[in-house]
Amino acid sequence: MANENKLQAIISHCKEYGFVFPSSEIYDGLGAVYDYGQNGAELKKNIKDYWWKSMTQLHDHIVGIDAAIFMHPTTWKASGHVDNFSDPMIDNKDSKKRYRVDHLIEAYAEQLAPDASAALIQSMEQLIAADDFAGLKNLIDTNNIKCSVSGTCNWTDVRQFNLMFGTQLGSVAEESSEIYLRPETAQGIFVNFLNVQKTGRMKIPFGIAQIGKAFRNEIVARGFIFRMREFEQMEMQFFVRPGTQQEWYQYWKEARMQWHLSLGISPNKYRFHDHVKLAHYADAACDIEYDFPMGFKELEGIHSRTDFDLKNHQQFSGKKLTYFDTELNQHYIPYVVETSIGLDRTFLMLLSEAYQEEDLSTEEKQDARVVLKLPAMLAPYKLAILPLLKKDGLPEIAKELMAECRGSFKCFYEEKDAIGKRYRRMDAIGTPFCVTIDHQTKEDGTVTIRHRDSMLQERVALKDIKQIVLNAVQY
Ligand code: GAP
């Protein structure tokens, strides 16, 4: 399937099967804001649990926290977001449409031959790195890049726009102060660095992980849940001795790539992209990119953030944020290596991998199915329990199996419709196993288990079902 069609197919599938809906759809939706439906919420939660377990439970020196979305306004001064968290934008004077400059140039570059495209992107990256806005405008003009709405090249100058959402804290206008919805979860970790270090008696090197909402007023939000205004991040800040940050940066690059491969996705669907323009806080940075239906795009960032954040919070708060290293007998501000992955982008990656339209036609009849080949451990439901008929004691046996399994993993029970139809519905939401209870079950205690990906059916003992599923979904 062509890639642009695949994204459209995924969007429709998500809506039809309760994964993702446009936000407040009855009012025609809200740009780049989405709601997760009953199956989407389960899948999202399973991704979070998988990340959380690998970061905290399976790592000796990482603990997790859950900080508030609202933070003291000075946080964002100290972090540099008030002054630096902006993107260069340009407006088309005819259509009044506003573009992020890098998106405008990238979209144009995609239509060029590979060499010309690479040269253009390289020039753009150098100009962005040098904050050369006049140069960027010149690049757009000399390439005759047009607005997709008006079709003209009538552009304003390139300007910076801050991406943070501001709001008021306090009920009385005169007494209220402006605060921001956090644009990243990382700062909740930095301001709690000493709280966690002291109460958890943590020794460097150690990490603090967090999953939570972040908000950015993205001017050009596109690509379904790829670029949203309200999204979730799974971030981890790893605090290390100054001077060891390069070592740990390499360690986390490798460790995070291994995590991605553990999802069963082929290595050639991922690549590293080293940053030319470093964020205001970083001394090294790269992205892990995934080959989305729209092409290779950022999925996760790995950043060596130096001591920038802790040093600035110490300066702005007037509170000491140093660590005493007993082995070195020294006080210092730790350096930080961060891993930051978008939960919604991980969700989109998994759907991009899982979504398949299969032609099952034979000489006798035409047939097809849509199946989500999700990793079993992440699927919204692990097991569908399907009595063949609504009578003859079959539902009773099925409900006993349900009672036995539901405490260990999520099960779906259904009595209605022909069994083939029920299988197809389970394929469409990615349920890895279906079990059918039939009359033979009453005679010999066996059931049919059907495997989602191969569609193979086999006869196994009813008493073994729970363990079969557990073996496939535990991690
Ligand atoms: N604390 C570092 C940080 O926030 P980032 O590269 O700006 O770094 C990290 O964001 C990750 O968050 C990205 O790799 C991406 O997966 C996700 N992300 C960022 N902006 C997003 C948006 N508007 N919608 C969805 N996910 C987003």
What is 277-345 written as a DSSP string?
A: SPPTT-SEEEEEEEEETTEEEEEEEEEEEETHHHHHHHHHH-----EEETTTTEEEPPEEEEEEEEHHH
Confidence label for 4 from pLDDT (cuts 50, 70 and 90): low
Task: Name the residue with the closest Cα to ligand 1, atom 21.
Answer: 227
Ligand 1, atom nearest to 346 Cα: 16
Find the mean pLDDT for residues 77-106. 92
- Report how far residue 377's alpha carbon sits from residue 375's, in angstroms, rounded to the nearest whole number: 5
**DSSP labels, 150-213:** T----B---EEEE-PPEEEESSSGGG-EEEEB-S-SHHHHHTTHHHHHHHTT--SSEEEEEEEE
If one residue of 162, 187, 231 were mutated to test the ligand 1 pocket, choosing by the most ligand atoms within 8 A of its CB, it would be 231
Q: Which of 131-145, 171-185, 300-314, 405-419 has the lowest mean pLDDT?
A: 171-185
- Report how far residue 451's alpha carbon sits from residue 426's, in angstroms, rounded to the nearest whole number: 11
* The pLDDT of residue 155: 96
- Burial class, 21, CB count within 10 angstroms (exposed 0-12 / middle 13-18 / buried 19+): middle
> Model confidence over 401-438: pLDDT tens digits?
999 999 999 999 999 999 999 999 999 999 999 999 99
Q: How far is the CA of 301 from the centre of ligand 1 (A)?
A: 8
Q: How far is the CA of 341 from the centre of ligand 1 (A)?
A: 7
Over the chain, what is the mean pLDDT? 95
* The pLDDT of residue 280: 75
* The pLDDT of residue 222: 75
Ligand 1, atom nearest to 184 Cα: 4
Q: How far is the CA of 123 from the centre of ligand 1 (A)?
A: 24
The reply to whether ligand 1 has any atom less than 6 angstroms from the CB of 379 is: no
* The pLDDT of residue 278: 85
Q: Is the pLDDT of residue 449 over 80?
A: yes
Find the mean pLDDT for residues 297-304. 97
Task: Name the residue with the closest Cα to ligand 1, atom 4.
Answer: 184
Confidence label for 219 from pLDDT (cuts 50, 70 and 90): confident
**One-letter amino acid for residue 329 of the chain:** N
**Domains with residue ranges and CATH for the chain:** 3-85+163-351 (3.30.930.10), 381-473 (3.40.50.800)
Q: How far is the CA of 153 from the centre of ligand 1 (A)?
A: 31
The reply to whether ligand 1 has any atom less than 6 angstroms from the CB of 125 is: no
* The pLDDT of residue 227: 95
The reply to whether ligand 1 has any atom less than 6 angstroms from the CB of 344 is: yes
Ligand 1, atom nearest to 226 Cα: 25
> Model confidence over 330-384: pLDDT tens digits?
999 999 999 999 999 999 999 999 999 999 999 999 999 999 999 999 999 999 9
* The pLDDT of residue 2: 64
Listed as own residue / partner, the contacts of 320-323 with beta carbons closer than 8 Å and 24 or more positions apart are: 321/193, 321/194, 323/197, 323/204, 323/239
- Report how far residue 299's alpha carbon sits from residue 344's, in angstroms, rounded to the nearest whole number: 9
Q: How far is the CA of 226 from the centre of ligand 1 (A)?
A: 10
Task: Name the residue with the closest Cα to ligand 1, atom 27.
Answer: 342
Global pTM reads 0.90
The reply to whether ligand 1 has any atom less than 6 angstroms from the CB of 231 is: yes
465 SS3 class:
helix
Number of H helices, E strands in the chain: 16, 23
* The pLDDT of residue 173: 62
The reply to whether ligand 1 has any atom less than 6 angstroms from the CB of 307 is: no
Task: Name the residue with the closest Cα to ligand 1, atom 2.
Answer: 340
Q: Which residues contact 144 (CB under 8 A, 6 or more apart)?
A: 153
* The pLDDT of residue 169: 87
* The pLDDT of residue 176: 66
